[in-house]
Amino acid sequence: MYIIIVGGGKVGYYLAKELVEADHEVLVIELDPVRCAEITETLGDIALRGDGCEVAIQEKIGSGRADLFLAVTGDDEDNLVACQVARHIFNVPRTVARINDPKNELIFRKLGIDLTVSATSAIMAHIEQELPSHPLIPLLQLRSGFEIVEVKVPEGAAAVDMPIKDVRLPNQSLIWGIVDADGNPKAPTADTILHAGDEVVAVTRLESEEAFRNALTAPPPERSF
């Protein structure tokens, strides 16, 4: 594969190193001449000094034949524009942007970046698994706006003792697997009854995350008499 990496900082450097070792054709674009020289010295002639957001630079390095375009600088706006130029002018099939501010995930997604990677979110996801109170853990982002999540059904949730078909999940959501409180995994059907302590693994749309969590964790509505 021909892979272009914009940004030759720590993230870009180690990505390039891994990808070169895996025998991919890699090119790193980096503004800073010192970093460029370092990359060339250790990884070979794979670094070019320049601004990865510039159309002329992308033309020169052949963005048009790239299979994968990774923008991993420390500035979200530069990563966004580099990916948009790659996508809209050079039709790169897959663009990936590093996100420094997790708030930008949604906007990047809306603007057509295929995949976003946020160190903050990644670390949070790992910590969240350690925090028993956290009801929804995003496990993996898929293409086209889906993600795989894990939700623990708490005591007292409206969904407890309910068959899956009666739980009002958001559109385009699907429960794939359940690990019950005793640690037994099972493949659920529409009639499978949910229990408190079940760990539900499901696929849902990114923007439905909150609705999905509520469907499985919210307490029953208060009854009015």
Partner 1 sequence: MKVVIMGCGRVGSELAKTLDEEGHQVSIMDINAHQFTRFLPETFSGRKITGNGIDQDALRRAGIEEADAFVAVTPGDNRNVMACQIAKHIFDVERVVCRIYDPIREEMYHGLGLRTISPTKVGARLIREALDAEETETAAEPENAPAPETAG
Tell which one of 1, 89, 122, 142 touches partner 1 (CB under 8 A).
89
Indicate the Cα dihedral angle 179, 181, 184, 185, nearest 10°: -10
CB of 96 vs partner 1, minimal distance in Å: 17
Adjacency order of strands within the sheet including 136-141: 136-141, 146-152, 199-205, 174-179, 185-186
Tell which one of 63, 84, 116, 217 touches partner 1 (CB under 8 A).
84
CB of 5 vs partner 1, minimal distance in Å: 18
Q: Which stretch binds partner 1 (CB under 8 A): 102-110, 147-155, 169-177, 186-194?
A: 102-110
Q: Is residue 79 within 8 Å of residue 71, measured between CB atoms?
A: yes
Q: In terms of Cα–Cα distance, which of 145, 155, 153, 105 is closest to 125? A: 105
Tell which one of 22, 34, 106, 119 touches partner 1 (CB under 8 A).
106
Tell which one of 18, 41, 67, 75 touches partner 1 (CB under 8 A).
75
For residue 49, what are its two tokens? 């000094």
In terms of C-beta distances under 8 Å and separation of at least 24 residues, what long-range contacts does 110-119 make, across chains too?
Answer: 111/80, 111/84, 112/84, 112/87, 113/80, 113/83, 113/84, 113/87, 114/143, 115/141, 115/143, 116/141
Q: Which stretch binds partner 1 (CB under 8 A): 6-14, 24-32, 107-115, 204-212?
A: 107-115
CB of 107 vs partner 1, minimal distance in Å: 5
Q: In terms of Cα–Cα distance, which of 195, 202, 184, 213 is closest to 156? A: 195
Tell which positions 35-64 bind partner 1, by CB under 8 A. 53-56
Tell which one of 65, 103, 126, 165 touches partner 1 (CB under 8 A).
103
CB of 111 vs partner 1, minimal distance in Å: 6
For residue 183, what are its two tokens? 């640690």
Q: How far apart are CA 51 and CA 30, in angstroms?
A: 7
As beta bridge partners, residue 134 has none
Q: Which is nearer to partner 1, 97 or 164 (CB)?
A: 97
Q: Which stretch binds partner 1 (CB under 8 A): 25-33, 39-47, 71-79, 201-209?
A: 71-79
Interface positions with partner 1 (CB under 8 A)? 53-56, 75-78, 80-81, 84-85, 88-89, 101, 103-104, 106-107, 110-111
